[in-house]
């Protein structure tokens, strides 16, 4: 495999924008470059970025997978890009949907709301604040939850309907909800699990600075719990067992064919049309 695939596109206002082009499918075809991109949210893009996205990348659709509450926070909505339609397609009604109430845990003094919120989310996922295995359940819930499954099916149909220009999709950091979306697209196009995992793990090269910064911030705040520190650092990136949990869930539902045909209501005929559109 060409290890130059999936390299970051250097925009000023994002850290995880990548082309899904170049991956070889199981039947020997390749995904066309410049047709489908994964990225993190587009609220901080610059005027130069807008020109790149519109003119150089020929972006015509953006699918925002974040919840309505996330998009509605001040300054967090995607910026408008000339000639591009933004489609809001939340795969979760809220970040805390289907999670239990917060488990009792020490009251940490964390001035930054974003990191404090992430710590709270962590303890909703696991009562010990350990994300190592807990995120496996989160990834499986993306398609086991009826709402999420319906929204991912809708997302795939949006990708299917894009016949001219490029389409991009994202969540907040472009790694978890968007990571599953990328896996679904790559599966639909016939890419191997090995390459799906390879593309997924490329996120870590783009988010390592954020991971290091979060770790140092918690230490500076006086955090003593090594599990919490390592978990918050991990959440800045991705782990192979998380995406494998999703892929295993697909196998548990009967494999790729049944997953697309029955669970996403995406027929074999539509799969082949999708491949004709995005493969060469």
DSSP code per residue over 28-55:
S-BBPTTSEEEES--TT--HHHHHIIII
Task: Please give the Cα distance from 174 to 157 (Å, whole number).
Answer: 19
* Torsional class of 77: left (φ above 0), alpha (ψ -120 to 50), beta (otherwise): beta
Across the chain, which distance is largest between two alpha carbons, in Å?
Answer: 57
Q: How confident is the prediction for the chain on average, in pLDDT?
A: 94
Question: What's the gap between Cα 77 and its chain centre?
Answer: 17
**Which tens digit of pLDDT belongs to each residue from 163-191?**
999 999 999 999 999 999 999 999 999 99
Q: Do β-strands 166-170 and 85-88 pair in parallel, antiparallel, or remain unpaired?
A: unpaired
Region 139-154 average pLDDT:
95
Name all domains of the chain by residue range, CATH numbers in brackets: 18-98+108-278 (3.90.190.10)
> Does residue 80 have a pLDDT over 80?
yes
Task: Please give the Cα distance from 168 to 69 (Å, whole number).
Answer: 21
Region 214-231 average pLDDT:
94
Q: Helix (H, G, I), strand (E, B), or coil: what is residue 139? A: helix
């Amino acid at each position: 495999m060409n290890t130059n695939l999936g390299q970051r596109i250097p925009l000023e206002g994002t850290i995880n924008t990548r082309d899904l082009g170049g991956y070889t499918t199981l039947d020997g075809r390749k995904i066309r470059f410049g047709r489908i991109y994964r990225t993190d949210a587009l609220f901080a893009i610059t005027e130069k970025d807008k020109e790149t996205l519109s003119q150089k990348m020929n972006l015509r659709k953006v699918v925002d997978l974040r919840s309505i509450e996330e998009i509605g926070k001040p300054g967090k909505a995607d910026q408008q890009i000339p000639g591009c339609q933004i489609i809001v397609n939340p795969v979760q009604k809220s970040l805390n949907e289907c999670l239990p109430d917060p488990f009792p845990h020490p009251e940490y003094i964390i001035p930054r709301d974003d990191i404090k919120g992430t710590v709270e989310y962590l303890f909703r996922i696991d009562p010990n604040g350990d994300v190592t295995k807990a995120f496996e359940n989160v990834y499986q819930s993306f398609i086991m939850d009826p709402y999420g499954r319906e929204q991912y099916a809708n997302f795939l149909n949006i990708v299917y309907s894009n016949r001219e220009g490029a389409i991009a999709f994202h969540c907040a950091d472009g790694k978890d909800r968007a990571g599953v979306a990328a896996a679904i697209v790559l599966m639909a196009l016939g890419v191997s699990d090995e390459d799906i995992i390879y593309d997924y793990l490329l996120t870590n090269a783009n988010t390592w600075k954020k991971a290091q910064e979060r770790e140092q911030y918690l230490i500076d705040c006086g955090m003593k719990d090594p599990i919490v520190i390592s978990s918050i650092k991990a959440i800045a990136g991705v782990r192979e067992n998380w995406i494998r949990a999703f892929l295993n869930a697909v196998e548990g539902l009967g494999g790729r064919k049944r997953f697309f045909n029955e669970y996403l209501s995406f027929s074999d005929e539509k799969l082949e049309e999708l491949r004709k559109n995005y493969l060469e």
